[in-house]
Chains A and B, each alone.
Chain A
Amino acid sequence: MVHYSKANLDNIFFALSDSVRREILTLLLRSEINIKNISTHFQITLQGVIKHIKILERANLVQKEKIGRENICRINTIPLTDATEFINYYTQFWQHNIDNLSDYLISMEKKMEGDKTNG
């Protein structure tokens, strides 16, 4: 059983709105990493990285674990799945429905025309 993601989708998309945070996630996709080492990859301070990690944590995209003196960060991709599944589901739903509506109304028009010529 996969644990539930309670992260607000707004939080997820806010977290993804920043290029540094997207790069952090891309980094974490390859491996979990100590928070101090993350800052060496970017031109920002450790304090800045901590701030970004907090935003990613709030969106449940990153989980932090203290192992000894290290703060290990790892990615959680479940919220990403949630966000895209919702959008994909409803995009397909509405496309399907508008196609159906179009087919239905075209068939009604044809039927009316047929009635006119026959009547």
Chain B
Amino acid sequence: MGENTENTIEAIVDKTIPIAIEKVYDAWLNPESLKSWFGPPGHVVTNAELDIRIGGFYTIAMRSPENQTYTLTGKFIEIIPIKKLVYTWRWDQSELGDYDTEVSVDFISISNSTRIVIHHQKFRTAEHCEGHKVGWEGSIERLKFL
């Protein structure tokens, strides 16, 4: 079967925060700011480097609560300043998928607030399964995202 690109599965988050769009956009790409807000819960960003141009790479290193280092890397695909970012996303840890997924972020100004819409997509295989065969009765109907 070919790639079913029309019907991509994705995590979508749509949130509005009471901050002006320029500040939000800057904090999204500023290595120093990233240290203050980015990462999975309990993780500390130890280093962030971003080459903010189309085709440019970024690397964000993090330390987990268990003192393990994780690195997130990716490449900028689309940059529309103060409006839209699209970049690839890859962890160096296989349980989170050591292949490229894709993140798109739309920044929308609403008076003094900013609506942030994230689409995280292009998930391929999952190799972190525990295989719980519970609770699926009824769940299949809910899974019809298409």
Interface of A with B (CB < 8 Å)?
A: 2, 4-14, 16-17, 19, 22, 25-26, 29, 58, 77-91, 93-106, 108-109
Contacts and interface: CB of A to CB of B under 8 A. Distances in A.
How big is the B interface, by class?
Answer: 35 or more
B71 to A, nearest CB: 16
Contacts of B125: 5-9, 82
Nearest to A87: B11
B81 interface: no
Given A13-B4, A91-B11, A105 B23 contact: yes
Nearest 6 pairs of A and B residues by beta carbon: A82-B126, A90-B11, A17-B146, A2-B131, A102-B17, A94-B13
Contact of A93 (B9, B18, B40, B126): B40
Interface in B28-87: 28, 33, 36-41
Contacts of B7: 10, 13-14, 17
Contacts of B126: 5, 9, 79, 81-83, 85-86
Nearest to A61: B140
Secondary structure class of chain B's binding surface, majority of residues: loop
Interface of B: 1, 3-5, 7-13, 15, 17-19, 23-24, 27-28, 33, 36-41, 96-97, 116, 118, 120, 123-133, 136-137, 139-141, 143-146
B1 A11 contact: yes
A80 B137 CA distance: 12
B144 A10 contact: no
Contacts of A86: 9, 11, 97, 123, 126
17 contacts: A2-B130, A5-B127, A7-B125, A9-B9, A9-B125, A13-B9, A13-B145, A16-B140, A17-B7, A17-B144, A26-B140, A29-B137, A77-B131, A80-B139, A81-B131, A87-B123, A105-B19
Given A8-B125, A105-B23, A14 B131 contact: no
A81 B30 CA distance: 36
